[in-house]
């Protein structure tokens, strides 16, 4: 049995799988809501992640009726980019600035000017963006110097949970790629970037490949969770890397489109493929000797949640989706630009703002819901447009996250992307991929590729039905961001 733990944005999920990839048990625990003191700010308490992880692990073990000693290995995944700052005693210094926090554009500008845009991409394969861990550290340096002076260790969210489980400070290559401190091409910390930014290399944890065993459950971790002392813990990966493993996205040409709180289009590559304009992220993959490119939409599933919570609080997602299914493709001209937390791909604009465009008196609540679903898919199509520009092959598209669970959103994605999409027999997200990495780490499978081949099966292929209508809608959608941007000038 292998345990995968996913420290997400909304909550932590733990699953237990066997060597056939069958999910034996799963359990989730919600996190406290994101704290947003000002527009564009987003913080969470790392100790709340640890609380939720304990509850989720205990819940999965109780459901399975397994003893801790029956779990062979553990893998971790979670939301990327969050900045956890610890003092010399391992205590959290302040709430973590998480992935969707947009306050750090001045620090991005400072770092880009200091290192140079082209040199930064050469060194890290990515531009300076507010989402990345390093720019959050620089914000603390500029605004809370008394806290910055006490930093001894910097971790990302799932790595903090590992620290509490094992007492070890570690990070995987894929997660580290999202800090803006990694030399992605050579899979090592970038001494040049760290020195330019004024970040001591000793603050950064040891690096491991995703399936490597990097720690073991400590006595304290065992007492807190019911796991057995000494259980091996694999390095794992950030949510996108682990999710890609869990969907079998390892070879060039294989692509996933995952809609969670954010939305990600992810393509595996054999070499680090850099976009000189920085519109795509180029990261190390969770599998050794592989890389990936991905485009990110900040407000994907978040868009639907925002709409429901704000305008239809009494309705379930299923109810809203059923209403939207009665509206024709392209929502009778209504468009949604999903820039609730700025936007990454392709605009790199933390100040981008969301909007409904083309409202008429004939549009109903159902039109607005469908427009949200279509707008999120069109924002992800922007990444496919960049893949085409950069000659990144797209041979198959597998759907993941909440966008794969409802038939309407699945069909909308096939229509918007203009090619068939695949649904897996059991799409269990990042926690499943983390469990596969853990099993690979203890030689249950000889490689990550072998783990995927043994456990991942396609259940359904969905062909486009309304590609022509969505092509025209996408053409109109592409005009929306420049128009919105002009209003801010």
**Catalytic positions:** 239
**Residue among 365, 290, 359 at smallest CA distance from 327:** 365
Strands (DSSP E) contained in 182-306 are: 182-183, 188-189, 206-208, 213-216, 232-234, 253-259, 263-269, 281-284, 291-297
Token representation of residue 245: 């493993």
Residue 80 labelled as part of a binding site: yes
**Residue 289 has what DSSP assignment?**
T
Q: For residue 246, which of 31, 406, 404 has the smallest C-alpha distance?
A: 404
Per-residue tokens: 10: 């909304």
Strand partners, 14: 5, 27
Helices (H), 171-278: 173-177, 191-197, 219-225, 239-246
| Distance between CA atoms of residues 246 and 61, nearest Å | 21
Antiparallel, parallel or unpaired: β 253-259 and 394-401: parallel
76 phi and psi angles, rounded to 5 deg: -120, 145
- Cβ–Cβ < 8 Å for 438, 234: yes
Is residue 60 a contact partner of residue 27, using CB atoms and an 8 Å limit? yes
Cβ-contact 182, 188 below 8 angstroms? yes
For residue 5, the tally of other CB atoms under 10 A from its CB is 30
* Gyration radius of the chain over CA positions: 21
What are the tokens at 55? 């509850």
Distance CA 291, CA 275 (A): 14
**φ, ψ (nearest 5 deg) of residue 137:** -60, -40
- Reported in sequence order, the residue ranges of 87-196 that DSSP labels E, i.e. its strands, are 96-97, 153-155, 170-172, 182-183, 188-189
Alpha-carbon span 214 to 435, nearest angstrom: 15
Report yes or no: 202 and 189 within 8 Å, Cβ to Cβ.
no
Establish whether 171 is an annotated binding residue: no
Q: Is 288 exposed, middle or buried (0-12, 13-18, 19+ CB in 10 A)?
A: middle
Helices and strands (H and E) in the chain: how many: 18, 23
SS3 280: coil
Q: Where is the binding site, in residues?
A: 80-81
């Amino acid at each position: 049995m292998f345990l995968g733990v996913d420290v997400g944005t909304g909550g932590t999920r733990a699953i237990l799988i066997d060597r056939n990839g069958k999910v034996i048990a799963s359990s989730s625990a919600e996190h406290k809501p994101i704290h947003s003191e000002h527009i564009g700010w987003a913080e969470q308490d790392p100790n709340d992640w640890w609380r939720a992880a304990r509850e989720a692990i205990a819940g999965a073990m109780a459901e399975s009726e397994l003893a801790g000693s029956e779990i062979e290995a553990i893998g971790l995944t979670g939301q990327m980019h969050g900045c956890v700052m610890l003092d010399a005693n391992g205590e959290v210094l302040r709430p973590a600035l998480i992935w969707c926090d947009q306050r750090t554009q001045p620090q991005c500008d400072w770092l880009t000017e200091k290192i140079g845009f082209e040199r930064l991409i050469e060194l890290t394969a990515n531009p300076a963006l507010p989402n990345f861990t390093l720019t959050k550290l620089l914000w603390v340096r500029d605004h809370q110097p008394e806290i910055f002076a006490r930093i001894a260790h910097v971790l990302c969210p799932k790595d903090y949970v590992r620290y509490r489980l094992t007492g070890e400070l570690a990070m995987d290559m894929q997660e580290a790629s999202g800090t803006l401190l990694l030399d992605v091409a050579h899979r090592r910390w970038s001494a040049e970037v760290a020195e330019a930014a004024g970040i001591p290399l000793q603050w950064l944890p040891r690096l491991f490949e995703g399936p490597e065993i990097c720690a073991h459950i400590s006595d304290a971790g065992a007492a807190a969770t019911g796991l057995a002392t000494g259980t091996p813990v694999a390095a794992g990966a950030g949510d996108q890397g682990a999710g890609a493993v869990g969907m079998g996205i390892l070879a060039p040409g294989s692509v996933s489109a995952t809609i969670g709180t954010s939305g990600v289009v992810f393509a595996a590559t054999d070499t680090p493929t850099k976009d000189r304009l920085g519109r795509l992220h180029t990261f190390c993959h969770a599998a050794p000797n592989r890389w990936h490119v991905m485009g990110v939409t900040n407000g994907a599933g978040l868009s639907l949640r925002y709409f429901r919570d704000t305008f239809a609080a009494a309705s379930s997602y299923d109810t809203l989706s059923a209403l939207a299914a009665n509206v024709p493709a392209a929502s009778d001209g209504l468009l949604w630009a999903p820039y609730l937390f700025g936007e990454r791909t392709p605009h790199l604009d933390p100040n981008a703002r969301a909007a409904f465009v083309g409202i008429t008196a004939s549009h109903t609540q159902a039109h607005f819901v469908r427009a949200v679903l279509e707008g999120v898919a069109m924002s992800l199509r922007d990444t496919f447009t960049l893949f085409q520009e950069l000659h990144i092959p797209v041979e198959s598209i597998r759907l993941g996250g909440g966008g794969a669970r409802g038939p309407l959103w699945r069909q909308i994605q096939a229509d918007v992307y203009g090619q068939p999409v695949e649904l897996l027999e059991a799409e269990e997200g990042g926690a499943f991929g983390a469990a596969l990495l853990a099993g690979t780490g203890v030689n249950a499978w000889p490689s990550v590729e072998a783990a995927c081949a043994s456990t991942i099966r396609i259940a359904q292929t969905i062909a486009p039905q309304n590609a022509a209508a969505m092509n025209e809608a996408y053409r109109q959608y592409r005009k929306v961001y420049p128009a919105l941007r002009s209003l801010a000038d």
